[in-house]
Chains A and B, each alone.
Chain A
Amino acid sequence: MTLDLTNLQTLLYRAIAASPGGVTETPEGGIGVRLESLIRGDERLSAVERITIYADAYFYRLLDCLMEDFPATLAVVGQPAFEDLIRSYLTEYPPTEPSIFFAGRNLADFLAIHHLSDRWPFLAELARLERTLIEVFHDPDAPALSASQVHEIAPADWPTLSLRTRPALRMLDCEWRVNDVLRAVETATEWREPEPGPVFLLVWRQGTQVYYRELELPERAALEVASRGADFATVCEAFALWLDAEDPASAINRVLTRWVVDGLLVRD
C-alpha cells in the first residue's frame, strides 16, 4: 500500500511520539500499515530499530531541555521519577511550537493534577516559579524609569504621574515557600520541604539577569495596581491600605526607591 505524504507523516509522527521513549509499532489512526512496509530495514538495523533512533532522539532531546528548565523540580523528585513524569507529560502535552522554549510551558499545570503532587504538594508551584524565570528571561524589553528621571519630576506632578511595571516582571502568589527550595538548589545546598505560605513572589529581569524575591503584602498590592498602569496616587493608596503602623510616606519612599534601583517601572 502506498501512502500519500500526509498519511505517511502522520503515521511516522505517531510511531515516534505516541509513546515517548519508545516506538509505537502499530500506531492508531486506522491506516493499517506496518512500519516495515514503509521503512527499509537491513541486517544491521530493522525498520523499527531505525525509527527507534528518532523516537529516542525525540524523548531525550525534550528531557534534556526540561531538566535544564526545571532543575529544582528534578532535584525534588529525582531522575527516574522525573523521566516518568516527562513521558506522561509529553503524551498529554506534545510540543506544538517551532521553538523548544515552549516545551515546558504546561508542566506546572500538569503537575497540579499529577500523583507526584500527593507526595510533594508544593511541586506544581515550584515548577511554576521555574517556568516563570524562563519566561521573564525572554519577555520584551522596555527602558526603566531611572533615578535621575525620578529626581527631575516636579513635586506637584507626582500625584498624577502615570506609572506601569516593566513587561519583564511577574508576580506569583504561592501557598508554599517554594523560593526556599529553588534557592537551595541554585546554591547547591540541601533542599528541605518548604514551609507553608502564603508567600508573594516577584520575578523580574534587570539587564540580562533574572531575579526573584519575596514581597510584603503592601508592596504586592501596590505592584499589582502598577502592573495595570495607574497614577502614583492610586499606587500609594493601594500600598497604604495594607500597611500596619508604619508611617506611610517613609514606607512608600523606601519601596519606590527600591523599585527604581531594581528597574521595575516605566513611565506610562
Chain B
Amino acid sequence: MRRTDFPFLGSGVGLRRPHYPHVLEKQPAMDWFEVISENFMVAGGRPLEVLERVREHYPIVLHGVSMSLGSTDALNREYLSDLARLARRFEPAWISDHLCWTGVGGHNLHDLVPLPYTEEALRHVVRRIREVQEFLERPILIENVSSYMEFTTSTLSEWEFLASVAEEAGCGILLDINNIYVNAFNHRFDPQVYIDAIPAERVVQFHLAGHSDHGTYLLDTHDHPVRDEVWSLYEYAVRRFGEVSTLIERDDNIPEFAELAASAEEARRRSAAVLTKRRGAYDTRSDKSADATL
C-alpha cells in the first residue's frame, strides 16, 4: 500500500449536523467531507438521506471511532458488516479508524484509549488490522490518538509503534498533527522526531484540530480553531511528506460553516506555500547540478 493508491482529495472538513442545512442548500465550495461512520450505520431516516445528497456533490471518507482495533475482545463482525454495507452504498475514497481500544468485556467506553507500546500489543493489533482489511477488501487508514497516560510496560515509542503497525499490517496512516502536538506536550517528546520517524509513503491523510490547555496537560477537545503551534507543525509535516489530503476537525463549539471552510483554505494555502518553497529549493539544487555538469 502506498499513498498513490489513494486519490488526493485536497482540503476538507468534517461533516457535522449543524451544517447539514447549509451544505445541502448552498452546496458550498469544499474539496471533500469526512463523516463519522457510526452516525450513518443506521437503518434509515434523515442521516442516510443527508449523506446521499452530500455524496452526489462531494467525495467522502468514512472515519470510524468504534472499530476498537486494539481491544482484546473479538472483532465485532456485525459492526464490520454494517461498515462494509455503508462503504458499498457511498463509495468513500477510504475508510479510517484509530490505533487504540474503545472497550473490553463487551462494554464500550466511547473513548479512544491508548495501547501499551509493546511487542504483544503490536502483534495483536497488526493481526486485527489484517483481518479487518481482508473483511472490507481494502486497505484502511489508522490514526494516532491523543493520550494522557503512558504505560510503564511500553518498550517502543509511540512513533515506532505506529510506524511498525502500519508497515506490518500493510495499512495507511491518518496522521493527526494536533494529536502529535498534544502528546508531545503531555509526554514530553519532540513532535518533529515523531514526524521524522513515520514512513512517508503510508501517510494518506492529515487531521488538524484545536485543543484546550489545562496547564498540566493539553486536552484534544476539537472545540477551538487550529492553534498556531499546530499550523507550524503541519507545515513541517508537509515539508516531510509532501502533498497530503488534509481535514479540519471540529466537534464542539461548532462555528459557522464559513469559519471551518476558511481553515480548510488556510491548510490549502500553507501546504501550497511549503511545497512551492520546497520545489524552489529542489530547482535551485538542480540548477546547481546542471551548472556543475557544464
Partners in one complex: yes
Chain A residues with CB under 8 Å of chain B are: 2-6, 8-10, 12-13, 16-17, 37-40, 44-45, 47, 50-51, 53-54, 57-58, 61-62, 94-101, 103, 137-141, 167-168, 205, 208
Task: Verify if B35 is at the interface (C-beta below 8 Å from A).
Answer: no
Q: Which B50-79 residues have C-beta < 8 A from chain A?
A: 50, 66-68, 71-72, 76, 79
State the CA gap A3–B110 with chains docked (Å): 23
- Residue numbers in B under 8 Å from A37 (CB-CB): 152
State the main secondary structure of chain B at its contact with A. Answer: loop
Q: Which of B38, B105, B109, B124 has the most CB of A within 10 A?
A: B109
Give the residues in chain A near B67, CB-CB below 8 Å.
98
Q: Residue B149 at the A interface, CB < 8 A?
A: yes
25 A-B pairs within 8 Å (CB atoms) are namely A8-B151, A9-B101, A9-B113, A10-B105, A12-B113, A13-B103, A13-B105, A16-B111, A17-B107, A40-B149, A53-B148, A61-B110, A94-B107, A96-B106, A98-B41, A99-B39, A99-B66, A100-B110, A103-B110, A138-B44, A138-B45, A140-B43, A141-B45, A141-B48, A168-B45
Which of B101, B107, B111, B150 interacts with A39 by CB under 8 Å?
Answer: B150
Shortest Cβ distance from B107 into A: residue? A94
For the complex formed, measure the closest distance between the CB of B127 and the CB atoms of chain A, giving whole angstroms: 12
- The 8 A-B residue pairs with the shortest CB-CB distance, nearest first, are A98-B66, A208-B46, A141-B44, A140-B43, A50-B149, A9-B104, A6-B72, A140-B44
User: What's the least CB distance linking B43 to chain A, in Å?
Assistant: 4
6 A-B pairs besides A44-B216, A94-B107 with CB distance below 8 A are A10-B105, A50-B148, A57-B111, A95-B107, A98-B67, A98-B102
What residues make up the interface of B, taking CB atoms closer than 8 Å to A?
38-39, 41-50, 66-68, 71-72, 76, 79, 101-111, 113, 115-116, 120-121, 124, 148-153, 216-217, 219
Contact present for A39 and B44 (CB under 8 Å): no
